[in-house]
Amino acid sequence: MNNEKCALCDQEGLLRNSHIISDTLFDGTYDQLHRIMPIHEGEETQLRFQQQGFREKLLCDKCEQKLSRWENILKKELIALDGADTNRLEIIRENGKKKVTKIAYDEFKKAILSILWRMSICKDPFFTDYKLSKEINDSLKKAILDESKVPEQTFALIVTRIKQDDEERSKIIALFNKPTQLKEYKFISFILYGFLFDVCVSCEIFDEKLHEIILKEDGSLTLNEKNLLELEITAKLDSNLNSERVRKFHNLE
Ligand SMILES: [Zn+2]
């Protein structure tokens, strides 16, 4: 039997057919035929339905289990951030923003970083435009493998809940393949499970205003909530969002 090397721990062994993005984060976005349609910055004609999710032989059993444990915790936190589980987190409303505490920082952040890393290193042609530099990939891998917490300033993470039709969580899945510049920082962004995740990939965040809104090691977060069309980054999706096919699939007015 051919053994291969696990992309994360580098040990040789049997590899699992690993998720690039866990199916659990697509809940609520499938159509009746159990299809999803992630949108992106590219041409509308490149969009395709996805029925099997994204999988690739990537990780050994041990690493696979580690990542799926983080993803399960991430999902539970997102359900709570969405307001559907009121027991898990402490959320106080303040000037249109939600001040959240008690987030499982380590698992939440590592789950997000591991998704970014997998999109970058996988061979699936869908993610061809999502390749980060070797230097960033190596730092992501190191952060994921490290037993200790990733410092809040390293790969700083901003989380925004995306609304659609008043208060409801948006069903859009969007992958942005080009970095966004915010002040002197470079962010890679994606929308999954109705939340926009902006991960800083340029350097540590020392800007005070930005530092206020990133996920903190003590499990606190200022959660912004915006309509999809209010977001600046949405302009990058114009070619997709103006398409009849996309509007119909996502029930956009
Ligand atoms: Zn492994």
Distance 211 CA to ligand 1 centre (A): 33
User: What confidence score (pLDDT) does residue 2 get?
Assistant: 62
Distance 59 CA to ligand 1 centre (A): 5
Q: What does pTM read for this prediction?
A: 0.94
Residue 2 φ/ψ, nearest 5 degrees: -80, 115
d(Cα 77, Cα 47) in Å, to the nearest integer? 30
Q: Find, among 222, 175, 216, 224, the residue nearest to 50 by Cα.
A: 175
Distance 52 CA to ligand 1 centre (A): 23
pLDDT tens-place string over residues 103-125: 999 999 999 999 999 999 999 88
Distance 12 CA to ligand 1 centre (A): 8
Distance 179 CA to ligand 1 centre (A): 29
pLDDT average, residue stretch 72-96: 92
Distance 124 CA to ligand 1 centre (A): 19
Indicate if the pLDDT at residue 147 is higher than 80: yes
d(Cα 191, Cα 170) in Å, to the nearest integer? 9
Look up residue 151 and give its two tokens: 């410092």
Look up residue 18 and give its two tokens: 């690993």
pLDDT tens-place string over residues 88-107: 999 999 887 899 999 999 99
Distance 188 CA to ligand 1 centre (A): 25
